[in-house]
A and B are shown apart, each in its own frame.
Chain A
Amino acid sequence: MTDPNDLRNDLGSDPSSEQRELAAAERLTSAPATDTNDSGSGGEGDDVVGIGVVGWLRWGWRQLTSMRTALILLFLLSLAAVPGSLVPQTSASEINVQNFHANHKLLAPLFDKLDMFDVYGSFWFSAIYILLFISLLGCIIPRTYQFVGVLRAKPPTAPRHLVRLPVYATWRTSADSDAVLAAGDALLRKRRFRVSRSGDSVSSEKGYLREVGNLLFHVSLIAMLIAFATTKLFGGMGTVVVIEGNAFSNNVTQYDDFMPSTFYTANSLDPFGFFLNSFDATYQTSGDQMGTARTYAAYISYWTGSNSKKLTKGTIEVNHPLQIDGSNVYLTAHGYAPVIKVTNAKGEVIFNGPTACLPQDADITSLCAFKIADGYVNSAGKSTQIGLTGIFAPTAVIDGTNGPHSSFPALDDPGLFITGYSGDLGLDSGIPQSVYSIDTTHMTQLKLSDGSIWKASLHPEQGIKLPSGGVVTYLGTKQWANFTISHNPGTTAALVSSALAILGLIGSLFVQRRRIWVRAVTGPDGVTTIEVAGLARSESARIAEELADLALALQDTGPADHDDVPDADSDDAPLADLTSSSKD
């Protein structure tokens, strides 16, 4: 493609009316005028010294909205997105960020200052995309304005010397010029060109959908950004672990983790709740991916509003969230919760229920911590707190290297392997602690009378005596499911705008905008000279073929005289007629 600047430079050096005419014909794109001004014609862009604040602002605006700046901003945007995939992000995993802090004492504070742990919310990332979108707006607003002007105007009239256009054909015919123009008009209309006749020529243009698509695509991108912002400002999510048989009600105190946003707080939560009736998982039982999960399903009964008596049944699977009111409930993880019963030295039941254990591997070897805070009295009659910690394995195996672990994720042969501590669990210290581990700083390990460490490996319905009195019984196992409850208000808007963006993209990439002119002039000798010329300013336009097709179709009305091929009447006859040599 020729550089449009060449044309403009020509225009600057020799502003003949003809070239201006050609230039007008060439202006197929409705690109903003700033693009035209940055070389040759005006010099406004260069002459900025001493033009005052307004001048500088105008210059800055022009720079910002230029294509080159947009290109650089796009480039920066992709570069800026890279670190977020390499450095752990707070939004994805807080723990990874903490680990990074622990392992990189030097880098971490620097990264903290640069918002490296929250790249996509950082000032520099935001700056790039906000500038990009301003640049985009600065481009599409004038462009839309110009395009409306183009739509309201007639296709531009034929340049005087059609022969100078990129695609050109001419022939002589004995037919009447008016008939030829009428035929040209009709043929172009049939090909769905926008046609206008003036004087001895017909002008036509086609492919407006290219610009429509272009504008639609860019407007959709802005709409998408607004939808993203809506989600970010008005959305929120929380996660919660629910054990089979237990209930959850949508209240901030019930969440394990709650991520609010500017306008979505604890007060905005929809009133609803559900029971987890049962959880179902199936696993592959053979092959090298043995143990890989195949299906997960959580069966729940939910209520909405304040009436928790009116229950509706529902199923939540991995790709099938359940929508309750304005929130979606997703199934994101699962694990096991062994049910243990603990009695104290007096024989009173002080603990009886399931405790969720944290899965460690694909076979759901899990870490468990049972915190018995109240009611334990040892055989000496002294009250203390008991912590039991260990491993739960749904299909238990013990070997020398790995110790007790699970060999399959299903509950084929569950085993609970625990040791115990007594003392102060530290629950009242005010320091938040994990529910999956025990802080043993103020505790002593339970030992047998011979001084060896107390250990128990239990199978369902087995019990064992605690060395200080009392019994621990492993009654059975329940499953737990982890739910993410999210409220994403901008989702539909994002979906619609992205669909429109694709539509616009298809238009702007696959529709070709082009112009065709037909001129017919009957000379004093009664012979009509027909000229057709075409201009396409987009990639991969088949304008030559299209013009040939039109020329061919025009033969019905204005057939070319047999041997009378006119010279292309100009000083710069476009090209040597190579075809004649090939016909020999």
Chain B
Amino acid sequence: MQSVYPRLESLLPLVRKPIQYVGGELNSVVKDWDATDVRWALMYPDAYEVGAPNQGIQILYEVLNERDGVLAERTYSVWPDLEKLMREHQVPQFTVDGHRPVRAFDVLGVSFATELGYTNLLTALDLAQIPLDAAHRGEDDPVVLAGGHAAFNPEPIAEFIDGAVLGDGEQAVLAITEEIRAWKRAGRPGGRDGLLLRLAGQGGVYVPRFYDVSYAPDKTITSVVPNRPGVPRAVAKHTVTDLDSWPYPSKPIVPVAESVHERFSVEIFRGCTRGCRFCQAGMITRPVRERSITTIGEMTEAGLAASGFTEVGLLSLSSADHSEINQIAADLADRYEGTNTGLSLPSTRVDAFNITLANELSRNGRRSGLTFAPEGGTDRIRKVINKMVTEEDLIKTVSTAYANGWRQVKLYFMCGLPTETDEDVLAIARVAHRVIEAGRTASGRRDIRCTVSIGGFVPKPHTPFQWAAQTSHETVDARLKALGAAMRADRGYGSSIGFRYHDGKPSMVEGLLSRGDRRVAKVIRAVWGAGGRFDGWSEYFSFERWESCAAEALAADGVDLDWYTTRERAYGETLPWDHLDAGLDRDWLWQDWQAAVDPEGAAEVDDCRWTPCFECGVCPAMDTQIETGPTGARLLPLTVAGSGAVGSGTRSGG
């Protein structure tokens, strides 16, 4: 397959940061095209700097490329400056590995971490010369598959994709590969339709075209039913168990361009059962499956040796919750003592942070900022969202951090949560002031800082808040404005407190795309046609464009932006994703939603890792169980190759 690089090369001096388009990173792979029979283009629909470090893409890239006869290359969204030149010079969407045209691959797999990447999908399809409508694609076009968290409701992009894969991708991509290979070897029976039928039947893929959606006079969905025999009524998510047998990435991509995460990340567990009611990730990735300390040690060793990174991120939805986190942090700190290797936990729960962990994390590297996410300003609202952390917990935790040498603490909050009042948001200013006071007392210094970041809440599918009314952007913006004023009101804190916020408008669009149905595709198409690109980037995002396109495109259907966002749903309403099965019992979700908004005060739900099962439904539905330690194992010291050098061992397990 011909490389488009010679044609691309003369365009690169004319664009910003051309290095992002050339590939050639350490651990990237260019396989012989003709020696393979199933070929995947893996896309992260955002800029390279965001997409390149993405764990999901890196894992699948390695899992696929390890197989004989299978090839995987990566492609990312090109910025508008290059898009314009590619159109002028007829350069198609390309992969950065072999610079092969995306249209030449068998599969284009797109990982959607956020719905704001949908317009970028259309740009990529169009640049690739793949018809936007799945129905118009021919035998030579790739099968376009969506994955990632947003794939748990792919209905708004149903007409643009051929299929969606729910849940963990490691085994799913291999199963799909086998189906494609078998179909090709059998002489492509049934053509494209035949392949999609196979994928829907045995491949575990949701193929939207095999489901008919009908609507009631009140504009809600009446039913979603299969229109082909052999297609399941509901499509279940994929769950990988025993993460120790899937130790990827082991050869991480090392971008030459600057990227958002300059570190080697090890996923220390998958899933989370803390039960935060707003959190889609925590609901759709159940149950908790830990990697053992031994595998984490081996992956760290192999990943650092293969990359030269100076920082290891212990990744998960709530890393301090690993059953052996203190041991992991201590043993890794011992191993890398004196090597200038830093350890970090990207997300730490207020109540799981402790001083031992804090000191181990800072032993070999600098004390970078600590980040906690109380999410709500009052104990009351935190009960509503089931974030079981009190203000006293928070003050105690930050005092510990400041007393042990940290100078900067970041706090994340959300605005627009169900039942939220102005007071709940204004209380955040009081919390910030208390944090600074506590920090000054604990450290004996005045130069400590606290940064408050806050954004609008978006109700997500497959969560107890999937029925909730989203708070309008006018209300969110008014509350944020009042909060900013309250933060600045006491000059005694002046520069000690930083305040960052995202205004409420992008959240409305995210809300439309998150809980939208197939009718929303018209809006996405119209926005894209009007120039919508990179909607996750404030400099490109235009609320006015989304608002006017939504009004126009949805008028004939009798629905609008508010109908999809600020409208509360009833128990009986068929939700667009009800036929997509994350394993959660719908009645359990409803009870949890009712418990959240109980006027008597919200009832809290505990974590099933430490208390009896509360029957969310996932384990019996998916035939899985919680996989946690402790294992009691320890990491032995590495044989260090030289002073200041990281050991050069290779992975022994797996």
Q: Do A and B bind each other?
A: no
